């Protein structure tokens, strides 16, 4: 009888574990994987040529070895690229390591939680003066930048950060500094997604390894499900590689984190031969798409860009330095000092930027809006 009771007790314990596991998968920050028609068109915006462009630009800096002048140049390059993307708040995080972090503020009740995706921009080489670091980790950096470009056009419940770590090759120092600061500030980070060594596939096998620990296992499982749902076509493996990278900084403080990794390292890694020619662009595009699905689902419901009000709606160029968005009698005309609806001038625009304008059917005033604010639904179209 005692044996029977022990068996029953063991079965009951297993059932409790199963229920607990199901509960974890159903938590808001670990959503049950499902196809989202709002996400599908977003992943199609991932552009492999943009990934290649960024990786090639970084390779054009002879070395990004920390703490070289080239390393500082790479940080400034990334900062400049990110500030050109509407909707992002960009900063250098940590004065010593100069992590470059771009924040896409959340728009919902969970905006206080931050989903993070990152890659390291420093490089390493047998010849420190020639360290192109294309697969380790220029392609990862290029992918995170492309994710920032694409995701910034949409809105999410949670805040999303796009992070570019420094000094990974010297011991995950940049990401370590970020995580220590996150702990001090009691940051809620439901997921960190890392890209490192994740872009080499000379035979077109599309094998992708997912590095996860016990805490982040549900996200690895979700990634496998999304791979099927969205047809990214990878053969996924789990923890084949034990590579130390920035995801471990998050593990060490209890934050859920996963990292993607190619089936093998590029043969020229950590040498002057690690160049952009080794980056498989279709593999990179699908890797970015798969990561985007996981990030978008974790960050919360996608806020679809708001369409302009029904016609007639036109683009108007704004070419004068310091031009303001306010009521005007028509495209290209001078601002009206006191418009009927008491419009408060908006932010100054840079030369060559563009804004949406509404033309009232019966003439009158035109209200201009920056395209990013319009699409995000922040500006409300009104007629004068």
Per-residue pLDDT tens for 98-132?
A: 999 999 999 999 999 999 999 999 999 999 999 99
Sheet of 159-165: strand order equals 89-93, 99-104, 159-165, 114-120, 192-195, 257-262, 207-212, 235-238
Tokens of 301: 């419901």
Tokens of 254: 């209890």
CB burial of 106-132 (b: ≥16 within 10 Å; e: otherwise) equals: bbeebeebbbbbbbbbbbbbeeeeebb
Phi, psi dihedrals of residue 366, rounded to the nearest 5°:
-115, 130
- Cβ count within 10 A of residue 336: 15
Among 170, 163, 185, 139, CA closest to 286: 139
| pLDDT the model gives residue 38 | 87
Residue with tokens 């990030």: 295
SS3 70: helix
| pLDDT the model gives residue 168 | 98
Tokens of 384: 């004068």
Query: Following DSSP, what letter does each residue of 13-50 receive, concatenated?
Result: HHHHHHHHHHHHHHSTTSPPP---TTTHHHHTT--HHH
Q: Can you say how many angstroms the Cα of residue 164 is from the centroid of all Cα atoms in its chain?
A: 10
Instruction: Give me the residues of the chain with pLDDT under 50, please.
Output: 1-29, 31, 305-384
| pLDDT the model gives residue 301 | 73
Torsion of CA 321, 325, 328, 334, to 10 degrees: -20
- No. of helices (H) and no. of strands (E), the chain: 10, 12
| pLDDT the model gives residue 356 | 43
| pLDDT the model gives residue 13 | 41
Are 319 and 349 in contact by the 8 Å Cβ rule? The answer is no
- Go through the domains of the chain in sequence order and give each one's CATH number: 21-299 (3.40.630.10), 313-375 (no CATH)
Tokens of 208: 């992708």
Q: ω into residue 67 within 30 of 0, thus cis? A: yes
Among 250, 249, 258, CA closest to 223: 258
Strand partners, 261: 209
Tokens of 33: 């994987």
């Amino acid at each position: 009888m005692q044996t029977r009771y022990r068996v029953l007790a063991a079965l009951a314990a297993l059932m409790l574990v199963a229920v607990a596991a199901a509960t974890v998968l159903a938590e808001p920050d670990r959503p049950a994987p499902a196809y989202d028609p709002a996400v599908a068109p977003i992943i199609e915006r991932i552009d492999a040529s943009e990934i290649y462009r960024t990786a090639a630009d970084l390779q054009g800096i002879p070395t990004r070895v920390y703490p070289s002048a080239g390393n500082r140049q790479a940080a400034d390059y990334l900062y400049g690229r990110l500030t050109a993307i509407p909707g992002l708040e960009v900063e250098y995080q940590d004065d010593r390591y100069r992590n470059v972090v771009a924040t896409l503020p959340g728009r919902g009740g969970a905006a206080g939680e931050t989903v993070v995706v990152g890659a390291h921009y420093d490089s390493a080489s047998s010849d420190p003066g020639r360290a192109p670091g294309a697969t380790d980790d220029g392609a990862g950096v290029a992918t995170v930048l492309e994710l920032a470009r694409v995701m910034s056009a949409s809105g999410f419940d949670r805040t999303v950060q796009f992070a570019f770590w420094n000094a990974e090759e010297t011991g995950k120092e940049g990401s370590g500094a970020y995580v220590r600061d996150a702990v001090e500030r009691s940051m809620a980070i439901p997921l960190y997604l890392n890209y490192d060594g994740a872009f080499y596939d000379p035979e077109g096998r599309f094998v992708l390894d997912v590095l996860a620990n016990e805490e982040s296992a549900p996200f690895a499982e979700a990634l496998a499900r999304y791979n099927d749902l969205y047809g990214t076509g990878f053969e996924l493996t789990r923890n084949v590689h034990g590579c130390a990278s920035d995801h471990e900084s998050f593990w060490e403080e209890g934050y859920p984190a996963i990292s993607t990794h190619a089936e093998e390292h590029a043969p020229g890694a950590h040498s002057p031969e690690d160049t952009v020619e080794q980056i498989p662009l279709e593999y990179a595009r699908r890797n970015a798409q798969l990561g985007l699905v996981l990030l978008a689902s974790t960050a919360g419901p996608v806020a679809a860009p708001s369409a302009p009000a029904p016609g007639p709606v036109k683009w108007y160029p704004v070419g004068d330095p310091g031009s303001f968005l306010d009521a005007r009698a028509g495209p290209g005309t001078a601002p009206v000092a006191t418009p009927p609806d008491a419009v408060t001038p908006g932010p100054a625009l840079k030369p060559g930027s563009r804004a949406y304008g509404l033309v009232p059917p019966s003439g009158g005033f035109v209200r201009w809006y920056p395209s990013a604010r319009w699409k995000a639904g922040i500006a409300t179209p009104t007629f004068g």
